[in-house]
Homo-oligomer: A and B are copies of this chain.
Amino acid sequence: MFTTVLIANRGEIALRVLRTCREMGVRTVVAHSTVDRDSPAVRQADESVQIGPASPRRSYLNPAAIIAAAQQTGADAIHPGYGFLSESPEFAEICQAHGITLIGPPAGVIARLGDKVSARAFAAEARLPLLPGGTGPAEGVSDAARTAAAVGYPVVLKASAGGGGRAMTVVHDPGDLARAYAATRQEATALFGDPRVYVEKYLDAARHVEVQILADAHGEVLHLGARDCSVQRRRQKLIEETAPPNLPAATVEHLGELSVRAARAAGYVGAGTFEYVLDEHGACHFIEVNCRLQVEHPITEMVTGIDLVREQLLAAAGQRLSFRQADITPTGVAIECRVNAEDPARGFLPTPGLVEEFVPPGGPFTRVDTHAAAGTRITADYDPLLAKISVWAPTRAQALARADRALGELVVRGQGVCTNVAFLREVLTHPLFRYAKHTTSLVEQMMSTPMH
């Protein structure tokens, strides 16, 4: 096992990783920007290194700064959390070149699965069900138009190097394709320095279901069931749930097996997520692989009892998985609600400010992952995630009631700070959600009703 792990992230996920490291007796170093110097992860770390200014490009996205910090503190491994450098094959290679273990899959696997076009090619090879679309990046607007016409509108244009729902444009009308193509290329260049864009069939009313997999460096791969992440705003998840409601266990099992087989074929190591969309007929289509810990991993932990960060560390250290597929029997229902500092009434605009009062929920089967406390300043430099409130219950009805109860307990007050708690509670009571008939368009449907 590692002696010292450097955590190259911030917010709740830095704290999350730190917690497990501490429990495993592993020394922690937290690399942080100037604005995060008083964060709980920094305060609790065995050591901390200030690696740059608030701007992520000069701190959390700066490989040189992170490697220097790791070397200064004798860290033998780096945990990248999610976002930032967590899915950068270049960073994975740099770590390797410096003799530091990056906790995640090998650089080659990230390179292959992280790029959306090569992931599509890989998925085709691994016989994962794919959405109709181009076999590679569009070779120009007329190639894109040909593909779009072939698969049928609506289509989505996606940056090949993209992720996190950015540089993605849905096109319903052939007349809009040319403009959308140009805009997406421009955005892709600006965001990822890579103009490649590809065309894929777009599903209007889809469910987003993902499979959590776990693999060791000895070829053993297994899955921990699936999560439904259909409640999204601006293509970012708001509420996640496991097991996916109203989805036959056989479908979950089928997706699990597909994902495990593909992960084994890819030489995957560590924790990863295979994402799928399900159309209204229940047909599954692979969309992408996330080569990292997922924001919503706590709900999988709650139904399986498995600490995913612990398994990440063990796998990265070369240890064999200590359980088999047959040992994993997810129990009950877990739901995570992401509490953001944002204003749903103004298009979910982030609301930075100073948190003056913060009282998290507690009690039975309630888990809180947060870096917030009285005195926390929410800055515009980073994403507005304030807290993840996760609950477990034996049944979905009880889990929904529990999530609503927990959200009702949460107190976040401070000048300028606004949260989406009331909106989350609206989702929980929405009939489509209650009856598990919702798709990724739920939030839009809710926002477009004049009642709100």
Q: Which A residues form the contact surface with B (CB < 8 A)?
A: 15-16, 19-20, 22-25, 40, 44, 298, 301, 305-307, 309, 331-332, 357, 359-360, 362-370, 373-374, 392-394, 398, 401-402, 405, 408-409
B363–A16 CB distance below 8 A: yes
B362 touches A370 (CB 8 A): yes
Residues B20 and A364 in contact, CB atoms below 8 Å apart:
yes
- When C-beta atoms are compared, the residue in chain B nearest to A359 turns out to be B373
CB contacts (< 8 Å) of A331 on chain B: these are 305
Task: Report Cα–Cα, A300/B16, bound state, in Å.
Answer: 25
Given A44-B409, A409-B44, A23-B402 contact (CB < 8 Å): yes
Asked if B364 and A367 make an inter-chain contact with CB atoms under 8 angstroms apart, the answer reads yes
Contacts of A368 in B (CB 8 A): 360, 362-363
State in angstroms the CA–CA spacing of A332 and B302 once bound together.
13
Instruction: Return chain B residues, CB-CB under 8 Å to A401.
Output: 22-25
Q: Which chain B residues border A402 with CB–CB below 8 Å?
A: 23
CA distance A173 to B157 in the complex (A): 88
Q: Which residue of B lies closest to A361 (CB)?
A: B19
Chain B residues positioned under 8 Å from A360 (CB to CB): 360, 362, 368
Contact (Cβ within 8 A) B307 A364: yes
What are the residues of chain B within 8 A of A392 when measuring CB–CB? 305
Chain B neighbourhood of A307, CB < 8 A: 364-365, 393, 398
Q: State in angstroms the CA–CA spacing of A365 and B307 once bound together.
A: 9
Task: Give the interface centre of A309, A363, A369, A409 by most chain B CB atoms within 10 Å.
Answer: A363
A298 to B392, CA, bound (A): 14
A sample of 16 cross-chain residue pairs with beta-carbon separation below 8 angstroms, ordered by A number, consists of: A16-B364, A19-B405, A20-B364, A23-B398, A298-B364, A301-B365, A305-B332, A306-B394, A307-B364, A309-B364, A357-B374, A360-B360, A360-B362, A362-B369, A363-B367, A367-B367
**Which residues from chain B contact A373 at a C-beta distance below 8 Å?**
359
**Assembled-state Cα–Cα distance A239/B331 (Å):** 27
Residues of B near A298 (CB, < 8 A) are: 364
Tell me the bound Cα distance from A324 to B42 in angstroms.
Answer: 48
Chain B residues with Cβ below 8 Å from A25 are: 401
Query: Which residue of B is nearest A22, CB measured?
Result: B405
User: How long is the Cα–Cα vector from A392 to B301 in the complex, in angstroms?
Assistant: 12
Q: Are A367 and B369 also in contact (CB < 8 A) when A24-B401, A44-B409 are?
A: no
Q: Which residue of B lies closest to A309 (CB)?
A: B364
Query: CB-CB < 8 A to A405: which residues of B?
Result: 19, 22-23
Report yes or no: B15 in contact with A363, Cβ–Cβ below 8 A: yes
A259 CA to B364 CA, complexed, in Å: 25
| Given A16-B364, A19-B363, A363-B367, 7 further pairs, Cβ under 8 A | A20-B364, A22-B401, A44-B408, A305-B394, A307-B364, A362-B367, A362-B369
Least CB distance, A62 to chain B, in whole angstroms: 27
